[in-house]
């Protein structure tokens, strides 16, 4: 077949080739591993807004509270507010993870307000934890049964067990590094120690010593409850920790809460440059073929 006959392809043929190319080199993005809006747990008070003289005002106060929190979420990772007056006031706060952007924080807090209304409808107090952020609110006069920093809200331990010698010692040494890091880094720390990736965060207004004590309590729970599990997450009143052990020393970040983000940014950028260059060359080739094809049709 001659080159002339190749150029006589119709426009739809070129379009089809272009579509196939774009589908191969620019596939639909997979679900992000940094899905900060994924629910971790919820804790709703059993008491609800049932007093007819207060319930409507309390509901309005709660709505205003979430609007106020959302308004600050793109500029701050932690914010407290009080809405309403006297006996119908609602106080609360949000906190985003220390390693997410303002835009991600805003999206996460926006999801929090919707989830809180759905999951803890009419509750006088609620705590909703997502991977990237959490919120807590309570109505005036409501008191939790426990406000201890060591009050456990949620824990999960990986099903896989470590089969290497010295795992407990390695994990505990990593935990000591985590405590020191979170105390000296404004209440948030994500790092790797040997083959263990870990992260800790304390409530935004918790002091350094209190933060260290809280994280220490979480680590003790992890040691006792998770044992030889290669991963775990512990959420207390004032702090949380997560850790994952990678026997081969190659963390893959299967969950957004595990370890640091962006370890492969340079590789990703290099791949983007290569793919982008190939795309530009191919699109330029298609454009030339289209021009020649149109010119041939006009001559005919």
**Full 3-state SS string of 266-288:** HHHHHHHHHHHHHHHHHHHHHHH
pLDDT of residue 299: 56
Asked if 251 and 259 count as a contact pair (C-beta separation under 8 A), the reply is: yes
Identify the band that residue 56 occupies on the pLDDT scale cut at 50, 70 and 90.
confident
Distance CA 24, CA 279 (A): 11
Architecture of the structural domain at 39-139: 2-Layer Sandwich (3.30)
What mean pLDDT comes out for the span 40-68? 90
Cβ-based burial of 50 (10 A; exposed 0-12, middle 13-18, buried ≥19): exposed
Query: Whose structure tokens read 């929190």?
Result: 69
pLDDT of residue 64: 95
Question: How far lies 78's CA from each of 39, 86, 183, 237, in Å?
Answer: 19, 25, 17, 15
Identify the band that residue 87 occupies on the pLDDT scale cut at 50, 70 and 90.
confident
Asked if 168 and 197 count as a contact pair (C-beta separation under 8 A), the reply is: no
pTM of the entire predicted model: 0.72
Identify the band that residue 273 occupies on the pLDDT scale cut at 50, 70 and 90.
very low
Identify the band that residue 55 occupies on the pLDDT scale cut at 50, 70 and 90.
confident
For 120, how many CA atoms within 13 A lie in the half-sphere containing its CB? 25
| 96 against 141, higher pLDDT | 96
Distance CA 104, CA 179 (A): 26
- The CB density around residue 203, as the number of other CB atoms within 10 Å, is 21
What integer best gives the mean pLDDT of the chain? 79
| 232 against 140, higher pLDDT | 232
Could you confirm whether domain 152-245 is CATH 3.90.1150.10? no
Query: Whose structure tokens read 């919120």?
Result: 135
What percentage of the chain carries pLDDT values higher than 70?
69
């Amino acid at each position: 077949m001659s080159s002339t006959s190749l150029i006589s392809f119709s426009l739809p043929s070129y379009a089809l080739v272009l579509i196939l190319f774009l589908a191969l080199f620019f596939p639909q993005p997979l679900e992000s591993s940094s899905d900060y809006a994924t629910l971790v747990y919820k804790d709703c008070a059993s008491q609800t807004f049932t007093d007819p003289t207060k319930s409507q005002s309390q509901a309005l106060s709660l709505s205003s509270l979430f609007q106020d929190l959302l308004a600050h979420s793109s500029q701050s990772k932690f914010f407290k507010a009080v809405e309403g007056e006297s006996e119908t006031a609602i106080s609360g706060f949000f906190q985003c993870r220390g390693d997410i952007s303002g835009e991600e924080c805003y999206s996460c807090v926006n999801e929090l307000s919707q989830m809180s209304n759905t999951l803890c409808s009419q509750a006088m107090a609620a705590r909703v934890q997502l991977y990237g952020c959490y919120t807590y609110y309570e109505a005036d006069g409501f008191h939790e049964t426990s406000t201890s920093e060591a009050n456990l809200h949620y824990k999960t331990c990986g099903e896989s067990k470590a089969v290497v010698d010295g795992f407990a010692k390695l994990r505990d040494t990593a935990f000591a590094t985590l405590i020191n890091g979170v105390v000296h880094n404004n209440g948030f720390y994500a790092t790797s120690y040997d083959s263990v990736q870990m992260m800790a965060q304390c409530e935004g207004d918790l002091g350094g010593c209190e933060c260290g004590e809280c994280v220490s309590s979480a680590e003790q729970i992890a040691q006792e409850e998770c044992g030889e599990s290669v991963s775990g997450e512990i959420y207390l009143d004032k702090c949380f920790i997560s850790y994952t052990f990678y026997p081969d020393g190659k963390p893959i970040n299967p969950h957004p809460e595990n370890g640091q983000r962006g370890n492969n940014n340079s590789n990703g950028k290099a791949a983007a440059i290569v793919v982008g260059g190939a795309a530009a060359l191919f699109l330029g080739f298609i454009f030339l073929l289209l021009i020649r094809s149109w010119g041939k049709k006009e001559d005919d």
